[in-house]
């Protein structure tokens, strides 16, 4: 029961925060940052299913994000496909790719899995950069506005409300999965693979499933990002972006959907605040990652909740 | 009728015979204990039966069906469930969720209904939660219904594994040292739990060092030494067997 209150309550708070935040927005730049924060949040909510709940690592999710972005860009501009159709088709393609590569690599554990997913991300990045005939190479591609049913999503404010809706929906989906037979099986894989196997959980398929789901989340966000930004380059699929995504999940809180969301928002806002020291961004990101692992390995939100609980008992 | 048959089973680890040419069978409804000194191959035998290891040679038949080489989750679907000597608890979950994972095979495991939280899924989840709470009461964990698994004491975790295994509603339950590390009182309580489980018609295969427990509750005993069968029979027969006495106490003269 408590879980259900936390769930509906959490969703309500999220919706209210999204609705109220623009009251403090003085110009469209705020909306722009807000949209980016929410895009990252959606992606991290999906990635957290893989990392936080199922206990598997991926250092290649920026690759899936970029594939979604390029899929949408190419299908809409070159083949005149409707934006929604391109988004769905790209997501299906990325899901299929994740399924095909996931089967063999998810048998690896720990560092080995990290290396394999890292490799996938790098391969995708290289392909996007060198297949200039299709992707435009390092020069990038321009993308049209997102049009659907005669309706065009454009401007930062409109994108803000659209991505807010999608974020709430994504969080709802993630919470559904976690508190279901499928989600319990995923968490059991994290807890003890052999323990899960002997009560009937097909652990190999469970891992592939969550890998595919998180890749599809990334791809959908990639598609939206391409339309919102209007221009994409291969660097969105780079290694640094993958590390950034993992850091968001780790900082906010592994195995906490709202934690991952908060991590994504904090790390999206941080560069805006630290614009003066931009050249140190990678260093600061690394320091945050290390600091989190050492001082609050469970992440920001779970550590806060634990602290509040302790205070309540004392 | 025999529920489980092991025929000429062997397992080698780099030239070491952990199990060698072992043949025995377990009758439906029995409590069948496996005893032997440390390193006799008891846990290896469990791992071979439940699909965690693949046999080097020989066969395992469950309900007259060849099952050696099948994956643990496939065997679970056929009605085989087990606990572990070294705990395999899901410490990242609540105690009751551990048991609910045990009931996994009896729930709707399709992705889309779970993703969309269809009413059928939530209803079955509620029923499952009630059922699993009942199982926790059954093994004496009533006061841990709301507990996180990570905050529970060792003795309670031993029972939690039994509850999880029972949630799969197995025909055959394999318990690997359920009393290891427990004090005398806790051991007697586990003893009672095993008897209660057996009385519900579940066949139990038990690996245990606590001889008082083994002699008290077993219908049949298999004694192993160095991966081979040393003796087999009722508790009285095994106790009187000179080879068993020699293996445990050392041979005389």
Between β-strands B31-35 and B57-62, what pairing exists: parallel, antiparallel or unpaired?
unpaired
Mean pLDDT to the nearest integer, A151-176? 93
d(CA A123, CA A218) in angstroms, rounded, equals 17
Q: Is residue A30 part of a domain?
A: yes
Q: Is residue A279 part of a domain?
A: no
The reply to whether residue B72 touches residue A188, judged by beta carbons under 8 angstroms, is: no
Handedness of CA B153, B154, B160, B164 (dihedral sign): positive
Q: What's the total number of domains in chain A?
A: 1
The complex scores an ipTM of: 0.91
Nearest residue in A to B83, CA atom: A195
Where do the structural domains in chain B lie, given as residue ranges? 1-79+171-183+201-253, 88-169
Residue B123 near chain A (CB below 8 Å): no
Query: Confidence band (pLDDT; 50, 70, 90) for B202?
Result: very high
Q: Which of A176, A190, A200 has the CB atom closest to B104's CB atom?
A: A200
Q: Is residue A16 part of a domain?
A: yes
pLDDT of residue B150: 94
Contacts of B158 in chain A (CB under 8 A): none
Closest-CA residue to A43 (of A69, A65, A59, A63): A65
pLDDT of residue A253: 87
Tokens of B90: 């899901």
Residue A70: Cβ within 10 Å count: 28
What is the total residue count of chain A? 314
What's the gap in Å between the CA of A177 and the closest CA on chain B? 5
d(CA B176, CA B46) in angstroms, rounded, equals 8
CATH 3.40.50.300 fits B1-79+171-183+201-253, yes or no: yes
pLDDT of residue A3: 52
* All residues at 6 or more sequence positions from B164 whose CB lies less than 8 Å from its CB, including other chains: A195, A199, B83, B98, B99, B101, B102
The reply to whether residue A185 touches residue B104, judged by beta carbons under 8 angstroms, is: yes
Structural domain including A55 reads 2-239
Query: Confidence band (pLDDT; 50, 70, 90) for A2?
Result: very low
* All residues at 6 or more sequence positions from B15 whose CB lies less than 8 Å from its CB, including other chains: none
Q: Is residue A209 part of a domain?
A: yes
- List the beta bridge partners of residue B173: B81, B204
d(CA B60, CA B172) in angstroms, rounded, equals 14
Give alpha helix (H) positions in B53-105: 72-78, 95-102
Residue A255 near chain B (CB below 8 Å): yes
d(CA B64, CA B157) in angstroms, rounded, equals 33
Q: Is residue A272 part of a domain?
A: no
Q: Which of A180, A192, A195 has the CB atom closest to B121's CB atom?
A: A180
d(CA B31, CA B24) in angstroms, rounded, equals 14
What does pTM read for this prediction? Answer: 0.93
Q: A82-104: per-residue pLDDT in tens?
A: 999 999 999 999 999 999 999 99
Concatenated DSSP letters of A156-212: HHHHHHHHHHHHHHHHHHHHHHHTSHHHHHHHHHHH-HHHHHTTT--HHHHHHHHHH
d(CA B126, CA A256) in angstroms, rounded, equals 22
Between β-strands B65-66 and A231-232, what pairing exists: parallel, antiparallel or unpaired?
unpaired
Residue B50 near chain A (CB below 8 Å): yes
């Amino acid at each position: 029961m408590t879980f259900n209150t936390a769930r509906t309550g959490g969703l309500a708070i999220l919706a209210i925060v999204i609705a109220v935040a623009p009251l403090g927005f003085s110009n469209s730049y705020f909306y722009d940052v807000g949209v980016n924060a929410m895009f990252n949040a959606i992606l991290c909510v999906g990635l957290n299913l893989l990392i936080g709940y199922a206990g598997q690592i991926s250092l290649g999710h920026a690759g899936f994000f970029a594939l979604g972005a390029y899929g949408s860009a190419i299908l809409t501009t070159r083949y005149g496909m409707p934006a929604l159709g391109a988004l769905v088709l790209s997501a299906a393609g990325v899901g299929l790719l994740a399924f095909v590569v996931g089967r063999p690599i998810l048998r690896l554990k720990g560092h080995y899995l990290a290396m394999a997913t890292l490799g996938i991300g790098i391969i995708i990045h290289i392909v996007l950069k060198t297949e200039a005939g299709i992707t435009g190479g390092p020069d990038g591609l321009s993308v049209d506005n997102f049009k659907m049913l005669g309706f065009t999503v454009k401007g930062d404010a409109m994108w803000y409300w659209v991505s807010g809706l999608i974020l709430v929906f994504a969080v709802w989906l993630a919470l559904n999965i976690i508190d279901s037979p499928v989600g319990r099986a995923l968490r059991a894989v994290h807890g003890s693979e052999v323990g899960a196997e002997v009560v009937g959980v097909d652990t190999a398929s469970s891992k592939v499933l969550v890998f595919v789901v998180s890749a599809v989340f990334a791809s959908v966000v990639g598609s939206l990002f391409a339309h919102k930004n209007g221009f994409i380059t291969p660097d969105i699929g780079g290694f640094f972006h993958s590390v950034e995504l993992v850091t968001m999940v780790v900082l906010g809180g592994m195995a906490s959907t709202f934690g991952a969301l908060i991590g994504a928002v904090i790390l999206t806002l941080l560069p805006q605040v630290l614009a003066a020291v931009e050249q140190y961004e990678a260093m600061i990101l690394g320091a945050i990652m290390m600091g989190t692992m050492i001082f609050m390995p469970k992440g920001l939100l779970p550590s806060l909740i634990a602290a509040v609980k302790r205070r309540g008992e004392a | 009728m025999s529920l489980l048959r092991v025929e000429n089973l062997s397992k080698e680890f780099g030239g070491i015979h952990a199990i060698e040419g072992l043949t025995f069978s377990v009758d439906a409804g029995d409590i069948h204990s496996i005893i032997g000194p440390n390193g006799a191959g008891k846990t290896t035998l469990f791992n071979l039966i439940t699909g965690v290891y693949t046999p080097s040679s020989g066969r395992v038949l469950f309900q007259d069906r060849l099952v050696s080489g099948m994956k643990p989750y496939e065997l679970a679907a056929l009605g085989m469930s087990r606990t572990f000597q070294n705990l395999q608890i899901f410490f990242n979950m609540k105690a009751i969720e551990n048991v609910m994972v045990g009931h996994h095979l009896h729930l709707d495991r399709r992705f889309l209904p779970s993703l969309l939280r269809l009413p059928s899924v939530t209803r079955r989840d509620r029923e499952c939660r009630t059922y699993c709470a009942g199982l926790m009461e059954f093994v004496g964990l009533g006061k841990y219904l709301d507990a996180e698994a990570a905050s529970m004491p060792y003795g309670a975790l031993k029972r939690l594994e039994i509850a999880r295994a029972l949630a799969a509603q197995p025909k055959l339950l394999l318990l690997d040292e359920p009393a290891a590390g427990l004090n005398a009182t806790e051991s007697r309580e586990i003893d009672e739990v095993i008897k209660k489980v057996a009385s519900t018609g579940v066949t139990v295969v038990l690996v245990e060092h606590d001889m008082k427990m083994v002699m008290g509750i077993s219908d049949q005993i298999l004694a192993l030494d160095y991966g081979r069968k040393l003796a087999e029979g009722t508790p009285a027969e095994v106790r009187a067997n000179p080879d068993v006495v020699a293996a445990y106490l050392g041979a005389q003269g």
